Structure formats: C-alpha cells, structure tokens
Amino acid sequence: MTMATDSADRFSTSDLADSRPDDVEGYASPFQSYGGRSAFHGPIATVTCFEDAGPTRDYLSEPGHGRVLVADAGGSRRVAVLGDRMARLGVGNGWAGVIVNGNVRDCVTLATLDIGVLALGAVPVRGGLHGQGERDADVVIAGISFRAGGYVYVDADGLLLSHAALHEQ
C-alpha cells in the first residue's frame, strides 16, 4: 500500500494565520499524527466517548461531507477508540480527519489511509462498543476549545481554529 498524499489539501496553517490573524486561534498540537494525511481541515463535529469506540464508529458511519470529527475519550490511554476499520468507514463516508483525545490502534494501516488522524498515542486494546456519548457538545482538550460547526486546520505546524472557513480546496 502507498501512503496517501495531501495534494487535495494544500494549505499552510502559518500562511492562513498570517493572512487572517483576527479570524484564527493557533495552537501547538498536543497530538501525534497517525493518518495518511498530515494536513487536513474542515468543519468540526464532536463526540464524547470515554473508553468507548462506539460513538466514534457511529459518527464515522454517517456522511462526513469533509468534516473533522473530534472524539473526546477523556484523555484515557488505556484503550483505543479508533482503529483501521473505523478510519476506513470515515474515508468511505467523506470525513477529512479525526482528532482523538485518547488512543488509536492499527497504526501501520492508518498511515496508508487517505484521512487525517491525530491522537495522544496508540495501544492495541479496543475500547467498548456501547455507543454511549454526547454529540456536538463543546470539547476542551489541552486548553483547546473545539466547537461543533467551527473549523479546524491541521498541518505539521499545529492547529488553527476559526468560526468560518478560511480555505477552499
């Protein structure tokens, strides 16, 4: 398998921050990149999913329309709430990326998929599949406030948040 490319998502968070300083909040990323896209962006959808992979799977099973799912696993490092099968669902349903406040698994395969994936770390144990979680609630991770309907831009320089779209493909 070959590594996915970022050709459809050519932008620079640094350039966006320079050109729109009053429209963005910038953050150093507390996450590691695991997906095939190292740069991605889109409208934010959120879900809480403490040690439960079910809510992440449920959301990624729906049309993504270029959105980025922020899955708040409460920072738990005990289990993974995203793996290769769920990431493939996301690719097939048009999600641009997933940001996980917790762990992922199946890292070798994740790196080959055309989706951005950020997470705190990796662990081979999958979380439960109970489907217990709250959708579209404000999520704060490492001091970064992700709001459903806002926009996130991610690349090697970090994360930018905005209330409106800053970049068109």
Q: Is 73 left (phi over 0), alpha (psi -120 to 50) or beta?
A: alpha
Q: Is the pLDDT of residue 1 over 80?
A: no
Which whole number is the average pLDDT over 51-55?
94
CB 106 within 8 A of CB 77: no
Burial class of 78 by CB neighbour count within 10 A (0 to 12, 13 to 18, 19+): exposed
- Interatomic CA distance for residues 156 and 109, integer angstroms: 20
- pLDDT attached to residue 20: 93
Which residue from 159, 148, 134, 155 is spatially nearest to 43, judged by alpha carbons? Answer: 148
Between the two ends of the chain, the Cα-to-Cα distance in Å is: 25
Distances from the Cα of 47 to the Cα of 57, 112, 157, angstroms? 11, 25, 25
Distances from the Cα of 49 to the Cα of 46, 65, 159, angstroms? 10, 21, 22
- pLDDT attached to residue 11: 87
Q: State the pLDDT confidence band at 3, using cuts at 50, 70 and 90.
A: very low
- pLDDT attached to residue 168: 64
Q: State the pLDDT confidence band at 9, using cuts at 50, 70 and 90.
A: low
85 marked as binding residue = yes
CB 126 within 8 A of CB 80: yes
For the entire predicted model, the pTM comes to 0.92
CB 64 within 8 A of CB 94: yes
Question: How confident is the prediction for the chain on average, in pLDDT?
Answer: 92
Q: Which domains does the chain have, with CATH numbers?
A: 34-155 (3.50.30.40)
Residue with tokens 């996130």: 152
Q: What is the pLDDT of residues 120-156, one digit of tens each?
A: 999 999 998 887 889 999 999 999 999 999 999 999 9
Using only the alpha carbons of the chain, give its radius of gyration.
14
Q: State the pLDDT confidence band at 117, using cuts at 50, 70 and 90.
A: very high
Q: Is the pLDDT of residue 4 over 50?
A: no
Counting Cα atoms < 13 Å in the Cβ hemisphere of 95 gives: 31
